[in-house]
């Protein structure tokens, strides 16, 4: 079956605004993250229903360690709870889970939970959910270079294609659509290498409020864009003189 090109094959999301969502309700920030997990589970299925094949979310950045200790430990605990609560459902829904990021700094329990999530879902094909955890775009470029050098690649063998094969997201095509919720207009070190030609959509919607309608609005914005990848659109090239 031919792919509908107006639907992005790969959507990447910075799920921002959990803290403010909680604050508006006079709740501790943790409750915003908790509501954020519930929003994510709905968005995964909505993306799959609309033909998105890859969804990648920024769950914890390399810089998030700078947050207050109780928020960091709350987020770590939340991930463990989320895996327990939702892994069965996601597995049944055909979701393949892949974790990207530096696993060295996380606890043995969390590493084991990630391994279980990946192992349980590895044969699923409906949609691939990549969870960026302890991830940073610059970290990714550095680790890719280190592995390429360790493999003995010579300078002239280091090409964009070869380096892409060492990046943490090597299992997925580059994102077609990058969404950031929460009103900030920046990339914040997410998938720096991979978003070179992504369409960017920023919305004021706080992540826990991001529902199917907000998703459809972002997908409609994407469908209205003209992707040129550095080329000139048909009919806009100079007409040769004479």
Q: Residue positions in the annotated binding site for substrate?
A: 17-21, 29, 33, 61-63, 65, 67, 180, 186-188
Binding site for ligand FPP (CB under 6 A): 15-20, 33, 36-37, 40, 59, 64, 79, 82, 131, 182
Tokens matching residue 196 = 């070179």
Nearer to ligand FPP, 19 or 175 (CB): 19
- Per the annotation, the verdict on 211 as an active-site residue is no
> In this complex, which beta carbon is closest to ligand FPP, that of residue 40 or of residue 215?
40
- Find the radius of gyration of the CA atoms of the chain: 19
Q: Please state the closest distance from residue 35 (CB atom) to ligand FPP, in A.
A: 8
Residue with Cβ nearer ligand FPP (119 or 157): 119
Taking the complex as a whole, the smallest distance from the CB of residue 72 to ligand FPP amounts, in Å, to 10
Q: Answer yes or no: are the C-beta atoms of 217 and 48 closer than 8 Å.
A: no
- CB count within 10 Å of CB 137 equals 22
Q: Measured from the CB of residue 84, what is the shortest distance to ligand FPP in angstroms?
A: 10
Please say which residue, 131 or 168, places its beta carbon nearer to ligand FPP. Answer: 131
64 catalytic, yes or no?
yes
Give the orientation angle of helix 212-223 with respect to helix 29-49, to 10 degrees.
Answer: 60
Identified catalytic residue from 4, 38, 49, 64: 64
Residue nearest to ligand FPP (CB): 19
Measured between alpha carbons, how far apart are the two ends of the chain, in Å? 45
Whether 20 contacts 206, CB under 8 Å: yes
Handedness of CA 68, 188, 62, 126 (dihedral sign): positive
| Beta carbons of 91 and 127 less than 8 angstroms apart | no
SS3 158: coil
- Residue ranges at the known binding site: 16-21, 29, 33, 61-63, 65, 67, 180, 186-188, 199
Residues acting as catalytic residues? 16, 64
């Amino acid at each position: 079956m031919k792919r509908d090109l107006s639907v992005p094959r790969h959507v990447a999301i910075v799920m921002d605004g959990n803290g403010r969502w909680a604050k508006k309700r006079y709740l501790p920030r943790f409750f915003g993250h908790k509501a954020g997990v519930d929003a994510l589970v709905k968005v995964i299925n909505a993306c799959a229903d609309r033909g998105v094949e890859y969804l990648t979310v920024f769950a914890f950045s390399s810089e998030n360690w700078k947050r207050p200790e109780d928020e960091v430990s709350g987020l770590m605990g939340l991930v463990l709870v989320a895996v327990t609560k939702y892994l069965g459902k996601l597995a049944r829904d055909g979701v393949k889970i892949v974790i990207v990021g530096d696993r060295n700094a996380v606890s043995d329990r969390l590493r084991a939970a990630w391994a279980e999530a990946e192992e349980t879902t590895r044969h699923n094909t409906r949609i691939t959910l990549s969870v960026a955890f302890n991830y940073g775009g610059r970290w990714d470029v550095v680790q890719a270079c280190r592995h390429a050098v360790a493999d003995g690649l010579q300078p002239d063998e280091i090409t964009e294609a070869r380096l892409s094969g060492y990046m943490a997201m090597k299992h997925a095509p580059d994102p077609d659509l990058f969404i950031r919720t929460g009103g900030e207009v920046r990339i914040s070190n997410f998938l720096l290498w991979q978003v070179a030609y992504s369409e960017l959509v920023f919305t004021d919607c706080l992540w826990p409020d991001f529902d199917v309608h907000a998703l459809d609005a972002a997908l409609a914005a994407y469908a209205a864009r003209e992707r040129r990848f550095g080329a000139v659109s048909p009919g806009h090239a100079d007409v040769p003189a004479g």
